[in-house]
Chain A
């Protein structure tokens, strides 16, 4: 087990390093500059650039950036220099985190329920319906769903608010938009694995022992069937994070996603890079956790490693 953890951490660190490097050099290559908005004279431009160390050779800047990164200093926003990138992140994380968690929970619960329902229902309409629901969920992009939900519920039916996060009802539409795709994926995953496991021999054995269908077989099968879902949670988190770019912008929620989109519009290098690095860390962290969790839960893996 320790060897396994070690390997994963090494890879994670290397990935982050690659991200930081690629991000740094790519942001430097971006056309346009955050200071070109408005009428600023050449001299003032030059002095601002000097202040931020943007006149030094790129490689030097890179080294400085890395050093600061290790200290936890991601620099300051170029657009609003009195705010550090870290502050921006801290302010924005709660909203995104809550949204993300709600979305994952919704997706897991709904997905599992729908998946089992589809696998076990004798009703062709139910099965077909859930199947097409899943197809729609995987096909329609989350930003489209968000817009459609706004049109439908927010405007026509006026049931839910469509901006900000002031009230708990505000969460409904954004969470639905974010959760749609993962729900669909989990539904298909659960349904598939469920059917596959039900074909397995140990289910025959369970029947031969006289165990009741619903309760006991579900306990046996569900345990094995949920392992692939757990594996999916890692990539799901990544998806939700990137999904938040669009959804937060649409619903004007002050989260990481919206900050990121705005920073792109503003060509705010340090913020773009800082947010990218932070998101990379989050995704890698979650993937690491889910990997370890799955490895630990599956006794076959656990026993061989210990």
Chain B
């Protein structure tokens, strides 16, 4: 007997307000204890379908379902053509669902920060679920259970954590708390809506492990929604593929990935594998941009976790090459990008551009941003946006400017017809093209791309990356490409640097780093990448477990990765490792210093020590 049986579910939104994905007549089952993945791009309707099952959609969503059964209980949402006569039925439905939500079905969401009430203590947010469904439970009993739950999801010192507020915890911890809340009443089914999308890649691995473990231990079935094929491949036993509100394919994970039948599934898998491609040829040494011992500190803010600092970073970018900068949130890459762009000045060290110190913004350095929504002024037409840099910097006539604008638009694949429109009229991918056009119109020598594809769909990502590559080759522009996604960086950059908490831990040739990572952190990052291939995903049983970040370390005293490193030695806590150079590879780790690992032969070719 299936745990959940969905038959002919459709959702339609009547007003255009706040958008809404349609769901078209989907049907599927979930068996007890299994982990089923629902994969699809944004707009495919997967989240809407989940919320419809839970009955969480607002009135303006028209939900039509033939039958919805949860362990033999009928929870079909009521539907009436005129909307008025159903008031009584809706009240009954709502009452029924109230007792089911949280008890038989639970949900975890994508962004735990906004889904947890910031002014209520964590402990209370857990105990209230318990109290809501078990009226007889005592205050003490509920607290005890909450502590057990926190322990089960891997949070140390639960008693202390219970008295804290959501903003005092890290992203990973918040998601664990959300999981604890969801599991409080031992539900049969857990719906996880993109639970790891907002988390760092290393934390993502931990949360996925957690979900797998919980499912096995408690026998809870999981409906795992994600756009990331790698994640789905590593966690789910069965997969449902959604596109445009419909289910296009469904089956056992191995089968789907090995032999996808539907066109769309094939496309999806192919695009995901695309990102596995390795970068093209290297460039000779000819530094255009040099950072020497660059440090940025915010005085008096050592206790504040929000501002990233950069600590003694040195690297260089050659003319005509793409340099990748990889790191997770808070590592300092955005701050570094800001300094490279001239937005702020380093507190120590120098930034040299074409041999001259960069003291303010330089027209030869332009930037493409991550947030597609706010990188173009919504009150200016495309023509205005692209023309302004020319107006301010060149002596071209109005004719000349218009020509240049059209030329640049063509370069990025947009038509001159689009100049009259406003940014809102374009899709995410198109807006990014416009942003690239704006960056290119002054013909800069260095382009800084700060997470340019992170907010785009996977198919659009591929298009933009191809465009960037093409433009770069054609115009021989150097590029500083920043991303948290190692897949993307390794696909497009010739050389790269890995950052962790303000420090460069490893840098060098992209291909060689990818094939032979030296630094423990780089290795962790690489191992956390989940390939869209179930066999490979399962083979990664030996995931480099990394401890959750403990207390903050003061800058300058020891390697920042030491608290989480499985290979940390005494010296790692006491001093900062220097940067050791081996050919074109640089690494900041004591494992590679002669002092601590013994003298080596002169012609010993250095390779990974772990």
Candidate in A209, A298, A303 with the most chain B CB atoms within 10 angstroms: A209
Cβ of A224 under 8 Å from chain B: yes
Q: Cβ of B114 and Cβ of A212 under 8 Å apart?
A: no
**Partner of B116 from A202, A298, A299, A300 at Cβ < 8 Å:** A202
**Interface presence of B120 (CB below 8 A):** yes
Q: Is B149 an interface residue (CB 8 A)?
A: no
Q: Which residues of B contact A220 (CB under 8 A)?
A: 117, 120
Interface string of A97-134 (1 = CB under 8 A from B): 00000000000000000000000000000000000000
Tell me if B56 and A223 are in contact (CB < 8 A). no
Closest beta carbon of chain A to B166's beta carbon, Å: 9
A193 to chain B, nearest CB (A): 13
**Contact A210–B132 (Cβ < 8 Å):** yes
Contact at B119–A207, with CB atoms within 8 Å? no
The answer on a CB contact under 8 Å between B101 and A208 is yes
CA distance in complex: A207, B94 (Å) = 10
Interchain CA distance A62-B231 in the complex, whole Å: 77
Q: Which residues of A contact B99 (CB under 8 A)?
A: 210
Q: Interface code A292-306, partner B: CB below 8 Å = 1, 0 otherwise?
A: 000000111001000
Inter-chain contact B132/A211, CB cutoff 8 Å: yes
Query: Are A224 and B168 interface neighbours, CB within 8 A?
Result: no
Residue from the list A208, A211, A300 in contact with B107, Cβ < 8 A = A208
Contacts of B56 in A (CB 8 A): 204, 207-208
Measured between alpha carbons, how far is A276 from B167 in the docked complex, in Å?
Answer: 44
Classify the interface of chain A: helix, strand, loop or mixed.
helix
B141 CB-CB contact with A under 8 Å: no
Task: Establish whether residues B120 and A205, one from each chain, have CB atoms under 8 Å apart when the complex forms.
Answer: no
The reply to whether B119 and A224 form a contact with Cβ atoms under 8 Å apart is yes
Q: Knowing A204-B56, A220-B120 touch, does A210 contact B114 (C-beta < 8 A)?
A: no
- Which of A200, A207, A298 meets B114, CB within 8 Å? A200
Asked whether B114 lies within 8 Å of A209 as measured between CB atoms, the reply is: no
Q: Which of B54, B111, B114 contacts A208 (CB 8 A)?
A: B54
| Cβ of B315 under 8 Å from chain A | no
In the bound assembly, the distance between CA atoms of A212 and B178 in angstroms comes to 19
Separation of A208 and B99 alpha carbons in the complex (Å): 10
In the complex where A208-B106, A209-B101, A220-B120 touch, is A300 in contact with B165 (Cβ < 8 A)?
yes
Verify B102–A208 contact, CB threshold 8 A: yes
Contact: B111 with A201, CB < 8 Å? yes
- Tell me whether B294 is interfacial, beta carbon within 8 Å: no
> Of residues 207 to 231 in A, which have CB atoms within 8 Å of B's CB atoms?
207-212, 216, 220, 223-224
The docked-state distance in angstroms from the alpha carbon of A179 to that of B97 is 43
Instruction: Specify which chain A residues have a CB less than 8 angstroms from the CB of B102 in the assembled complex.
Output: 208-211
A210 and B115 contacting across the interface, CB-CB below 8 Å: no
Q: Which residues of A contact B116 (CB under 8 A)?
A: 202, 205
Residues on the A chain within 8 Å of B114, using CB: 200-202
Report A-chain residues with C-beta under 8 Å of the C-beta of B54.
208
- Measured CB to CB, the nearest residue on chain A to B117 is A202
Q: Which residues of B contact A200 (CB under 8 A)?
A: 114
Q: Which residues of B contact A212 (CB under 8 A)?
A: 98, 132
Of residues A204, A205, A210, A223, which shows the largest number of chain B Cβ atoms within 10 Å of its Cβ?
A210
Q: Do the beta carbons of B132 and A223 come within 8 Å of each other?
A: no
Closest CB-CB distance, B48 to chain A, in whole Å? 13
CB–CB A216/B128 < 8 A: yes
A298 to B165 CA separation, bound complex (whole angstroms): 11
Cβ–Cβ contact A303 & B165, under 8 A: yes
Q: For A300, what are the chain B residues with a Cβ–Cβ distance below 8 Å? A: 118-119, 165, 167
Give CA–CA (A92, B568) in the complex, Å: 74
Residue B103 at the chain A interface, CB threshold 8 Å:
yes
Verify B129–A211 contact, CB threshold 8 A: yes
A299 touches B118 (CB 8 A): yes
**Scoring B residues 80 to 106 as 1 if CB is less than 8 Å from chain A, else 0, what string do you get?**
000000000000000001111111001
Closest Cβ neighbor of A298 among chain B residues: B119
Complex contacts, B109 vs chain A, CB 8 Å: 201, 204-205, 208
B538–chain A nearest beta-carbon distance, Å: 31
Interface size on B, residues (CB 8 A): 29
CB of B128 within 8 A of CB of A209, answer yes
Distance between Cα atoms of A211 and B119 in the complex (Å): 17
How many angstroms between the C-alpha atoms of A236 and B331 in the bound complex?
A: 46
Q: Is B119 a contact of A210 with CB atoms below 8 Å?
A: no
B94, closest chain A residue (CB) = A213
Question: For B103, what are the chain A residues with a Cβ–Cβ distance below 8 Å?
Answer: 210
Of B99, B100, B120, B181, chain A has the most CB atoms within 10 Å of the CB of B120
Write out the residue numbers on chain A whose beta carbons fall within 8 Å of the beta carbon of B540.
Answer: none
* Closest chain A residue, CB of each to CB of B132: A211
| Shortest Cβ distance from residue B65 to the other chain A in the assembled complex, whole angstroms | 18
Interface assignment of B402: CB less than 8 Å from any CB of chain A: no
Which residues of chain B from 160 to 191 have a CB within 8 Å of any chain A CB?
A: 165, 167-168, 178, 181
- Chain A hits for B168, CB < 8 A: 303
A60 to B371, CA, bound (A): 63
Residues of B within 8 A of A201 (CB): 109, 111, 114-115
Q: Does B133 sit at the interface, judged by CB under 8 A? A: yes
A205-B115, A298-B119, A299-B119 known; A210+B100 contact, CB < 8 A: yes
From B54, B114, B119, B168, residue with most partner A Cβ within 10 Å = B119
Chain A's nearest CB lies how many Å from the CB of B153?
16
Q: How far is the CA of A205 from the CA of B114 in the complex (A)?
A: 9
Measured between beta carbons, the chain B residues less than 8 angstroms from A224 are: 117-119
Question: When chains A and B are docked, how far (Å) is the Cα of A157 from the Cα of B115?
Answer: 54
Contact (Cβ within 8 A) B115 A209: no
Q: How far is the CA of A140 from the CA of B103 in the complex (A)?
A: 52
Q: How far is the CA of A212 from the CA of B107 in the complex (A)?
A: 16
Please measure, in the bound complex, the distance between the C-alpha atom of A209 and the C-alpha atom of B108, giving whole angstroms: 10
| Residues of chain B with a CB closer than 8 A to A206's CB | 117
Q: Considering the complex, give the chain A residue whose CB is closest to the CB of B130.
A: A209
B69 to chain A: closest CB distance in Å? Answer: 19
Q: Give A5 to B101 CA distance when docked, in angstroms.
A: 45
* Nearest A-chain residue to B126, judged by Cβ: A209
Choose among A202, A207, A210, A303 the residue that contacts B133 (Cβ–Cβ < 8 A): A210
Instruction: Tell me which residues across on chain B come within 8 A of A223, comparing CB atoms.
Output: 119-120
Residues in chain A near residue B98, CB distance under 8 A: 210-212
Query: A207 near B101 (CB under 8 angstroms)?
Result: yes
Q: How far is the CA of A208 from the CA of B165 in the complex (A)?
A: 20
Q: Are B165 and A299 in contact (CB under 8 A)?
A: yes
Closest-by-CB residue of B relative to A201 is B114
Q: Among residues 74 to 111 in chain A, which have CB atoms less than 8 Å away from a CB atom of chain B?
A: none
> Closest Cβ of chain A: how far from B130's Cβ, in Å?
10
Question: In the bound complex, what is the Cα–Cα distance between A246 and B592 (angstroms)?
Answer: 82
A210 touches B129 (CB 8 A): yes
Minimum CB–CB distance from A296 to chain B (whole Å) comes to 12
A197 CB, nearest partner CB in chain B, Å: 10
Q: How far is the CB of A2 from chain B (nearest CB, A)?
A: 16
Residues 106-154 of B at the A interface (beta carbon under 8 Å): 106-107, 109, 111, 114-120, 128-129, 132-133
B70 to chain A, nearest CB (A): 13
| Interface positions of A (Cβ within 8 A of B) | 200-202, 204-212, 216, 220, 223-224, 298-300, 303
- 5 closest A-B pairs by beta carbon, nearest first, are A210-B102, A210-B101, A201-B114, A209-B102, A202-B117
Besides A211-B102, A303-B168, 6 more A-B contacts (Cβ < 8 Å) are: A208-B54, A208-B109, A210-B99, A224-B119, A300-B167, A303-B165
User: What are 7 A-B interface contacts by the 8 Å CB criterion?
Assistant: A205-B117, A209-B128, A210-B97, A210-B133, A211-B128, A220-B117, A300-B118
